[in-house]
Structure 1
Amino acid sequence: MISVRRPQSLVSRVLGLVLLILVLGGVLVAGSTWFNGRQAARQAYDRILIGAAIDIAESIRVQDGAPIVDLPVSAFQLLAQAPDDRIYYAVAGPDGQLITGVDLENPIAPPVRGGVRVQFFDDTLDGDPARFVRLTRLFVERNFSGPVDVVVGQTTQARATMTRDLVLDALLPMALAGLALIALSFVVIRSALSPLEALVDDLTARDPYDLTPMPTDRVPQELQVMLGAMNRFMQRLDGQVHAMRNLISDTAHQLRTPVAAIRVHTETAMAEPDAQGRSRALDRLLNRTRSLGTLLDQLLSRALVIHRTDSTPRTPVDLREIALEIAEQDDLATLMPGAELRLDIPEDPVTVLADAFSLREAGRNLLNNALAHGQQPVVVGASVEDQHAVLWVRDAGPGPAEAVIGKLGDRFNRDANSGEHSTGIGLSIVGSVAAAFGGRVDMSKGDNGFRAALILPQAEDVE
């Protein structure tokens, strides 16, 4: 059985990072506190050692040509401030002969450093670590001359205890403060992430078909960026869902009548006993079949255009090339062998930022509409008008009535003169392409005939 690892929450991630920072900081502070505490303990007890050594050195006097020592009580009172530590003292003459002190099997041998009167060093005392100080006092008298060394030592147990106490006294408040900071961080993080929880609740409670924008006025600035991107995505998704619903609805609505007509014509042809009547029924069946094929082509074209205009990146397209391609389309001679078609394009490029496939579909529908309902000759052209790029088709006819022009571009808009071969989808495809690329569709009558034009921003004008 494969175990699925639960994703780590954002709160635990942030708290983990905060805890890691506190631990690293605590380690650094603990190391610094231990070093400083060790130095403070060393300095404190070194002062005790040097004080005891000075007291012993001041008690040395020369009698009958030999140094003697009257050990002062004050020296041992100083060393008694560390009652758990063992002490060592020794006074030696110029020849290294022990005058007084602790006689060990392995006497303490201070390192030799010429000219140094006070010297601290570390060694062991009966196997335990200890700290020592050597103080040299020079005598220049008539019957005695030379240095007398005083060595005082003490084990380091009191130093270690003092260091530990200093570290604990410094770290315990810091540990309590760290715990308080973690608790405060948890509260702050939960408060900062509460807008995310509100967004999750909002999305969870939404209807699956509710793609309206989410409010962004009461969320932090960082979340506004995310919500803005999410709302734009939801808007695009809503457009795709709306287009899909329209396509399904239009397909179901428009296919019902042609399919029923084809069935009726087929039944009539099969039941017709007369050959001439059967031929007429088959002709009607053929016309209905062609009309159904045109309808399916238009529906597919419209679905492709809607999909590509939302998902395909914009690239520079020269409308002169689009006009040339639709004027030279291969199926034109087959569908309308006697069509009189002309091309009118300028020498300079007419460039837009769009999708070439969508523009070709829009241009083909403009041309097919002019060939089906206009008068020849038909002219296909591209031009620049008022700083806009225009792809247009003009026929020599007067065009439809003004009331009809106002409805052109609506889906399945047909009048009594359209005929059964018209689907009413062609100009709606042109309108969808124009809206997708920030343009518009223009229908106008002139002295040269009726013109249908797709007007788009020029490439240099598109931000």
Structure 2
Amino acid sequence: MTGATTTRLSLRRQLLLWLLLPQLVLWAGGGLLAYRIALSYAEKAIDQSLTQSVRALARQVKPIGSGLLIDFPRAAQDVLEQDPKDRISYMVSSPPGQFLLGNQTLPQPEEGMVGTEGPLLYAAEIDGKPLRIVALDVNYGEVNAPQTLRVQVGKSLAVQQRIARELIADMLAPLLAAGVLLSLAVYGGIQRGLAPLTRLTAQLENRSVNALSPIGMTQAPNEVHALVQAINGLLDEVARNVNQEKRFINDAAHQLRTPLAGLISQVELAQRENSDPVLGARLTKVRTGAERSAHLVHQLLTLARTETTARREPLDLAALARDVAREWTPRAVAAGVDLGFEGEEHRMVQGDALQLREAMANLIDNALRYTPRGSAVTLKVEADGERTRLLVEDS
């Protein structure tokens, strides 16, 4: 047989997947969005700080005639450049791009982007490291000889990124803990919600094959009640069909038993009065067939009278087997077969004595019919740990 094996997730795993996976996606998306927002706010703070710095620095540049007086104390420069990781670089150039003072490596903005109306903020890189720079042009000089001074202040974005990462870590750690607690709560809720299905499964697994009584579940959600009602409806329909079959078998067996008994009696009378060996052989075959049919009718009657639900009560299987062996001893002697019992003296089990007796009788009858004369048939009851084995062996 060929075919593909399809692996299907259980309902519990599907619920966990559909409840926890969106939570994980939202947590990751929320973390990325929070990181972007933190970077944005940090960038705004840096832009505001740089704008204030460039305006303050521009105020320290004082035109004197056609020249400039840059009153920028050394202490202020040390403050700007004291932190290597977060150093603030500046550059003064006049005309724009012609270095006068500060850090000569500051990149220049695009031509025509900077004006005297207000500072220009732009991004750049130095040695592969991101930088945020603000530039401001200042006009000075005589009316007939105007000149332009450019003041630039730049700051590394390393601190901005570090602050954003720390902020995200401080935000996501509680969110992660809350997510774990929420996941545990979701798992517990799913376990509790599926508990009625688990109980229903246990009830169905623990029922015997012939148990067709309704399933009872009083405390369960409406969906489980609907399922139980559907199963009970099916069990009720099966029970009705089984009862109808039993009634039919019982009626048919009763109708057949009397004619078969009469047929066997007539054949026995005919055998006693007959002297023709050929006719006697034919009568023997007819009697054998009638007896087999009668035996089948007896089995049908037993089946029809058997209860739908087998009774389970404590009984001594060894004593029951010895009793059945004694009942079949005369039949075994007539068939020329040695019928005996071996095994435990006493062996207690849970079962239905009537059905067990009928099962042993059927097995012994089958063995006696097809075992040659002079053979042996043994009924055994053996202990196998906590289990009990019942056997009918022939030679």
Q: TM-score, normalised by structure 2?
A: 0.61
Paired residues, number: 276
Structure 1 pair 243–27 and aligned structure 2 pair: CA distance change class (3 A): same
Question: Who is 1:111 aligned against?
Answer: 110
Unpaired runs of 5+ residues, structure 2, are 275-285, 301-395
* DSSP-derived class of the 2:125 partner: strand
d(CA) in 2 for partners of 1:225 and 1:185? 25
* DSSP-derived class of the 1:146 partner: strand
d(CA) in 1 for partners of 2:249 and 2:193? 45
1:252 equivalent in alignment to 2:250: no
1:218 equivalent in alignment to 2:191: no
Deviation at 1:272, TM superposition (A): 6.4
User: Which 10-residue stretch deviates more, 114-123 or 157-166?
Assistant: 114-123
Structure 1 pair 193–114 and aligned structure 2 pair: CA distance change class (3 A): closer
Structure 1 pair 177–74 and aligned structure 2 pair: CA distance change class (3 A): farther
* DSSP-derived class of the 1:131 partner: strand
Structure 1 pair 80–102 and aligned structure 2 pair: CA distance change class (3 A): closer
d(CA) in 2 for partners of 1:75 and 1:50? 16
Deviation at 1:12, TM superposition (A): 3.1
1:152 equivalent in alignment to 2:186: no
Deviation at 1:201, TM superposition (A): 3.0
Structure 1 residue identity aligned to 2:198: E
1:56 equivalent in alignment to 2:57: yes
Deviation at 1:120, TM superposition (A): 1.5
d(CA) in 2 for partners of 1:47 and 1:73? 24
Deviation at 1:191, TM superposition (A): 1.3
Question: Who is 1:174 aligned against?
Answer: 175
Determine if contact 1:82/1:158 at 8 Å carries over to the other structure. no
Question: Who is 1:376 aligned against?
Answer: none
Deviation at 1:72, TM superposition (A): 5.4
User: Which 10-residue stretch deviates more, 77-86 or 12-21?
Assistant: 77-86
Deviation at 1:74, TM superposition (A): 8.7
Determine if contact 1:214/1:227 at 8 Å carries over to the other structure. yes
Question: Who is 1:429 aligned against?
Answer: none
Deviation at 1:66, TM superposition (A): 1.5
Structure 2 residue identity aligned to 1:68: L
Determine if contact 2:213/2:236 at 8 Å carries over to the other structure. yes
d(CA) in 2 for partners of 1:74 and 1:247? 114
d(CA) in 2 for partners of 1:78 and 1:41? 21
Question: Who is 1:416 aligned against?
Answer: none
Deviation at 1:79, TM superposition (A): 4.5
Deviations 1:51-107 (A, max 9, x none): 211111111111241223222579658756966224321111236322212233xx5
Structure 1 residue identity aligned to 2:38: G
d(CA) in 1 for partners of 2:250 and 2:125? 98
* DSSP-derived class of the 1:212 partner: coil
Question: Who is 2:163 aligned against?
Answer: 162
Percent identity over paired residues? 27
Structure 1 pair 53–175 and aligned structure 2 pair: CA distance change class (3 A): same
Q: 1:43-192 residue pairs with structure 2 within 5 A?
A: 43-71=44-72, 79=80, 84-94=85-95, 96-104=97-105, 108-114=107-113, 116=115, 117-139=118-140, 141-142=142-143, 145-192=146-193
Structure 2 residue identity aligned to 1:108: P
Q: 1:20-419 residue pairs with structure 2 within 5 A?
A: 20-71=21-72, 79=80, 84-94=85-95, 96-104=97-105, 108-114=107-113, 116=115, 117-139=118-140, 141-142=142-143, 145-267=146-268
Deviation at 1:145, TM superposition (A): 2.2
d(CA) in 2 for partners of 1:215 and 1:92? 92
Deviation at 1:141, TM superposition (A): 4.3
Question: Who is 2:279 aligned against?
Answer: none
Deviation at 1:246, TM superposition (A): 2.5
d(CA) in 1 for partners of 2:252 and 2:158? 95
Question: Who is 1:357 aligned against?
Answer: none
Q: Which runs of 4+ in 1 moved over 6 A?
A: 4-7, 270-273
